[in-house]
Amino acid sequence: MTYPCPRCAFGALQPVKSPYVRQWGPYFVTVPDVAAHRCDCCGHTRYDMVALSRVTLVLGPESSPMSGIPRRRSLQTEGPSDRGPRSWSS
């Protein structure tokens, strides 16, 4: 089934598999073969909402890309950033 293109209103959206690319915090993420619809005239691409919800489920919310990933603690218990230069010698 095809739908009219919302951008050019001349072409039809055809089902395709397209890579999904986005900036996720400091990272550049590419997901291959995501279900989408592309206009056969202007090339406008609209991604499938179910496929995008699966990608969002894996990546997490955009506002906090590293929230849920535990960070490793340094083995050094204290150092210049923790105590400050006046306390190093004590």
Q: Answer yes or no: is 41 within a domain.
A: yes
Q: What is the pLDDT of residues 61-90, one digit of tens each?
A: 665 444 545 455 544 444 444 444 444 454
Round to whole Å and give the CA distance between 34 and 36: 6
CATH code of the domain in which 31 resides: 3.10.20.860
**Burial letters 21-46, b for 16+ CB under 10 A, else e:** eeeeeeeeeebeebbbbbbeeeeeee
34 or 85, which is more confident: 34
**Which residue range is the domain that position 54 belongs to?**
1-61
Which of 1, 39, 38, 5 is CA-nearest to residue 19?
Answer: 38
Predicted TM-score of the model (pTM): 0.61
Which residue type does 56 have? T
Q: Is 31 helix (H, G, I), strand (E, B) or coil?
A: strand
Q: Answer yes or no: is 74 within a domain.
A: no
Structure tokens belonging to residue 40? 């056969």
